[in-house]
Amino acid sequence: MKLEKVICVALSAVILSLMLSGCCPYSKKKTAEKEIQPAVEAVSPQKTAIVQREEPSVPLPVKPDIEKGKATSAEVKIATTGGEIPVARPEGDMKFVEPGEQLKEIFQPIYFDFDRYNIRTSEQSKLKILAEYLRKNSEISILIEGHCDERGTDEYNLVLGEKRALSTRNFLIGLGIAPARIYTISYGEARPADPGHNEEAWTKNRRAEFKIKQ
């Protein structure tokens, strides 16, 4: 009986200690550290280099929608919720040209309110037409130029022009165009479409214009 009691107490102690060790914050921390280790290793340059060497023998799957110049569903979701999609890095000396006369109806400038960069409802149809064209011509990449009127301050207008170009880009990505096909540039107030100094000219100058990559 005494032996049974001793065994019982001993077993209880072991179970209790196991339970306590399982609940101990220190043990949890240890587990957590172990869990994040692979992630830390995965971004080390050495590992990246190894993955790159292994690439030829184990080719990564290519997403079919990227091949067609379309945005991924994740990119569409980010673009439509106002998130950030990194801008494309220009390759060497890139050249962009005005769309030919036959494309003027498709590559129409869009216009903005003073000190604003949101895409007006009235301008969205122009971007839908452009997106449709780009979907059908997946080899074409474009440049969006952001411009401002002269009434804002000079340096701020440079950044506002960039934001207008980026908002336009986001709208096109939201319509399914791959971000890699869309470059942006701001000229601030340096290149007005209308050199006038009145409301009519300013309205024309607050715009995003489109060029085609050669």
Partner 1 sequence: MRKHILILFGCLFTLTNLYGQSRVTIEITSSLETKTASSILIAVEKDAFFEKFSLQLAKDLENSDWLDIKSVAWKTEFNISSEMEKASRENVRLLIVCEAKEKLEVKVYDIFEKSLIFEFKTDIEKSPVDLAHTVCDEIIYRLTGKPGIAKSKILYMTRTKDIHTIMMADYDGSNATQIFSAQYIINYPRWFPGMEKVLFLSYRKTFPSLDLLDLKTRQMETFLSEPGLNACASFFRNQSMAAVVLSKSGNPDIYIVDLKGKIIRRITEKKGINASPSVSPDGQDIAFVSDRDGKTRLWVMNPSGLNVRKVDIPSNYTTSPCWSPDGRYLAYAVRYGTEMFIEIYDWNTGKRKLLTNGISWADAPCWAPDSRHLIFTRQDRYQNSLWAIDIHNLKMKKIADNAWSGCWALR
The conformational region for residue 84 under phi > 0 = left, psi -120 to 50 = alpha, else beta, is: beta
Q: What are the residues binding partner 1 (CB under 8 A)?
A: 82-90, 93-96, 115, 117, 150, 152-156, 158-160, 162-163, 166, 169-170, 183-187, 190, 197
By beta-carbon proximity to partner 1, the closer residue of 152 and 176 is: 152
Whole-angstrom Cα distance, residue 98 to residue 115? 26
Whole-angstrom Cα distance, residue 53 to residue 92? 26
Whole-angstrom Cα distance, residue 199 to residue 38? 59
CB of 61 to partner 1, least distance (A): 25
Residues 6+ apart with CB under 8 A from 210: 99, 107, 109, 130, 142, 143, 144, 145
By beta-carbon proximity to partner 1, the closer residue of 25 and 86 is: 86
Helix (H, G, I), strand (E, B) or coil at 122: helix
CB of 161 to partner 1, least distance (A): 9
Listed residue (112, 73, 76, 81) closest to 206, CA to CA: 112
CB of 69 to partner 1, least distance (A): 18
By beta-carbon proximity to partner 1, the closer residue of 69 and 188 is: 188
By beta-carbon proximity to partner 1, the closer residue of 108 and 184 is: 184
By beta-carbon proximity to partner 1, the closer residue of 45 and 86 is: 86
CB of 190 to partner 1, least distance (A): 6
